[in-house]
Amino acid sequence: MDDSARHDDLAAVASIADPQRRALLEFVARHPESVSRDEAAGALGMARGTAAFHLDRLVEAGLLVTEFRRRNGRSGPGAGRPAKLYRAIPGEITVSVPERHYDLAAEVLSRAVEESDRTGAPIGATLERVATDLGRALGSASDSMTEVLQRLGYEPVDDGDDGLLLTNCPFHRVAQNHTATICGANRALLQGAADGVDQEARAVVLEPRAGHCCVRLVAADPAPQTRT
């Protein structure tokens, strides 16, 4: 999730902290058709003005959209003013603190399963290759390895020994239940990213420790000199 998307989701979550506003959002979301202020107010037992205020705040937060339409189907003179109607925007609000990326884990695993089924290659080796390729693409699209780590929510810090500790695991819950699989894919993903950036000589090693991600970035050993 990039910074702008995360900011939008945080703003959306903040906008439904009020229980009346959250109840209105849930009411509108349950209806396949647009609803009016009067319908929402009557269903939830709140004043029409209160419902209108909170509905419009939900529109500002990007959770609802409006349209103006006459509900009686009439048109022309005498048909009355169109009513302001509200409907929910399809999609999800996803915010986690610290940041998680279970969608990325699902993408890597799904690609690996599909490729393994198609080629007959062992799933373990396929998962490592798919994770490496995806990481390389992420690295190639970034200016530095630190940028990749920050974008994915790893929260890197210097380890004092020319390496980086990762203080957050974006796949924490899945890694707890499937440690070997997820940590192996995690290492392959970040090694691919390091290769894709091609700016810093980094090696990614499995080094589980309490309160940190299962991998650590260390300075890669320099290539051996060839004697002439």
What stretch(es) of the chain map to CATH 1.10.10.10?
3-88
- Cα separation, 95 vs 189, in Å, equals 23
Residues of the chain with CATH 3.30.1380: 102-219
CATH number for the domain formed by residue range(s) 102-219: 3.30.1380
Average pLDDT over residues 213-226: 72
Total number of residues shown for the chain: 228
Sign of CA dihedral 115, 121, 127, 130: negative
With a cut of 70, say whether residue 159 has pLDDT above it.
yes
Q: Is the pLDDT of residue 10 over 50?
A: no
Q: H/E element holding 22? A: helix 19-29
Q: How confident is the model at residue 89 (pLDDT cuts 50, 70, 90)?
A: confident
CATH 1.10.10.10 fits 3-88, yes or no: yes
